[in-house]
Every structure is written in structure tokens, then in C-alpha cells.
Structure 1
Amino acid sequence: MNEGKKNALDEAHGISRIESTISDAGRVAGLARKMCLRAMALVAMSVGLYLHASVSFAQDASMLDERVSQQNIVTTICRPGYADTVSPPFDDMMELKDRLLAERGIDAGHGTRYALDRRVPIVLGGSPDAQDNLDLLPWGGHKGERRKELLTAKLKRCVCEGRMSLTDAQAAIAGNWSAHYAGFGSAPCDDDSGVASIGSDGS
């Protein structure tokens, strides 16, 4: 009789331990789910803030050409040779480049390593000569001008084919444009394999 009671108690204790283990596992799984959901929410929030900042940056009026709008892209940026008709004289732009080199403490002898960049290119509605739209970029490298020119050309084509709005293209090229470059193959206008395949040295 005592042996039977002992076995019954052992069995009860065993069941209790199993139930406790299952309960602990459930709590751990629940905590993991909560942490996963919080992480996803933070990622979504970060992406939203980044896109909002990019759009705001791109729509800074001091960087844009007021003559260009979504309504007139056919007669402006999508017209062959448009950029040449609104660009300042070459000598004037070189003077601006020399000024930027001096402001940043870059030796004039190394000037050929850098391009005079427009944060929002002319062919995407950027101002040709506004100071706020001018910058210096190295020609090569992951964040160099050659790579940016490829992204610019593709964005312009997407806009002119009606597959992307001018505002979206400006947001993609402004700010941290190299991040858009890296992921542009998954964007709706993604039929140019050349953009995705270019090397990090810009060649």
C-alpha cells in the first residue's frame, strides 16, 4: 500500500514538473514573439522615418529648379539635350568647384579626383547652379560620382516612361542615394541590370 502511494506521488510530481516545463516554454515563446514584433515595429518605423527624411530633403526648394514639375517633364528633363540648355558655362562651374575644394581643404592639385556634384541632378529637376545643390564627390568608389550617374540615368528613364514620379526619383537620389542604388533592383522600375552589376570602384 505504501509502495503504491509512493508511486502515485512520484507520478504526480513528474506530471507537475512536465507541466511546469511546458509553462516555462510557453512563456519563453511568448516573450520571443513579443521581442520579434517589437523589432519589426522598430525596423518599420526606421524605414518610414528614413523615407520621410529623404522626401523632405529632396523637396528642399533651394535645391530644385522651379521651372521643372511633374506636369512639364516632357518639355523639360525628358527632352533630349535639356541639361545642356540650362547648365551654366563650364568656366563658371569650375570656379565653383575650386571654391568648394578650398573650403574643404582639398589641394587644388587633387581636384581631378573629385566631381562637382549636384545633389539633385539637372535631369531630375535639380537646380543647375544653386549653392545648396552643389557638392563634391570622388569620381570612383562605392559612393562616387560614376555610380551616382548610373542611378541618375535609370531614375530619369523611369520618370520619363511614367513608371516613377519625379518626386520619388528626387527622394531616391537625394541624401543617402547609395542605399537606394544597392536596393534598386527590387524597385518597380527594375529592368536595367547594368545598375545592379556595377562594381564598387565605379567601373
Structure 2
Amino acid sequence: MTQSTIYSTICVPGWTATIRPPVNVTEQLKRQQLAASSAADKDPSHYEEDHIIPLELGGAPSDPANLRPVPFSQAKADDQLENSLHRAVCAGAMTLAAARAEIEQVKAAEAQP
């Protein structure tokens, strides 16, 4: 994904649905990641498998390095920022690279299970 392709990919309504990995894939990965984590709460039903670089910013759909389990409350807060950055990129108010850097910085600072 590059700045030059955003209007034929991420800025097209519904595009992320065409690349989103199947739930059975993300659920299996979430269970593996939680089992390997130091989290006290390892109940997968308390977490969402979240893309670090979200699909709406061109993140890798199925790459385990781009996916991690986060508590649902944190995922909801992340979704708000992801949507805001997506709107800014598609409106031309922010570059794709700047949006990716911002979301990556925010998520790196979040507590991990």
C-alpha cells in the first residue's frame, strides 16, 4: 500500500471487507498469542485480535506480526483513532505514512497482555 494507491484501495468504501482475514484464522492466532503471553487473564473471549496497522491504513491482513490480542475496551478506543486517521488520509489532510506512524506509536505505548 502506498500513498499513490489509496484512492483505489483503502479509500474505497467496503474495500477492507475484501481483505479481512477469516475469524477462524484470527481466533486461532489470538489463542496462541494469549497462551504465550504473560497476561493473567488468558480468556480469549475478553480480547479482540487487533491489527497494529489497521486494514483501513493498509496494514497486512493476516501477518501475525501485525496482529495482537487487546481487551475489548482498548480495541474500541483504538477503533476511534483508526477511523479518524483513515478519514484524514482519504481527505488528503494527512499522508498515509504519517497516519501509520501515529497509530503505531499509540499502539506501542499500550499495555500488552
| 2:31 maps to 1:98 | yes
1:102 is displaced (CA, Å) by 1.2
1:90-119 residue CA offsets vs partner (Å, 9 max, x unmatched): 2111111111111115565x2121110111
Q: Which protein shows a greater Rg?
A: 1
Give 5+ residue unaligned stretches, structure 1: 1-67, 180-203
Describe how 1:49-198 pairs up with structure 2 within 5 A: 68-104=1-37, 110-140=43-73, 144-177=74-107
1:176 is displaced (CA, Å) by 2.7
RMSD (Å) for aligned C-alpha atoms: 1.8
For 1:104 and 1:92, the matched residues in 2 are separated by 18
User: Would the aligned equivalents of 2:52 and 2:107 in 1 still touch at CA under 8 Å?
Assistant: no
Give 5+ residue unaligned stretches, structure 2: none
Query: Structure 1 80/145 Cα, relative in aligned 2: closer, same or farther at 3 Å?
Result: same
Query: Structure 1 127/178 Cα, relative in aligned 2: closer, same or farther at 3 Å?
Result: closer
Percent of counterpart pairs with the same letter? 34
The ranges of structure 1 where at least 4 consecutive aligned residues each deviate by more than 3 angstroms after the TM superposition are 105-108
Larger RCO (CA under 8 A, 6+ residues apart): 2
For 1:95 and 1:137, the matched residues in 2 are separated by 14
1:167-198 residue CA offsets vs partner (Å, 9 max, x unmatched): 0000110033498xxxxxxxxxxxxxxxxxxx
TM-score of the two chains, using structure 2 as the length reference:
0.87
* SS class of match (1:116): strand
Higher helix share: 1
User: Would the aligned equivalents of 1:86 and 1:128 in 2 still touch at CA under 8 Å?
Assistant: yes
User: Would the aligned equivalents of 1:148 and 1:178 in 2 still touch at CA under 8 Å?
Assistant: no
Name the stretch that deviates more: 169-178 or 84-93: 169-178
* SS class of match (1:87): coil
TM-score of the two chains, using structure 1 as the length reference:
0.50
State the AA in 1 paired with 2:80: L
Query: Structure 1 135/178 Cα, relative in aligned 2: closer, same or farther at 3 Å?
Result: closer
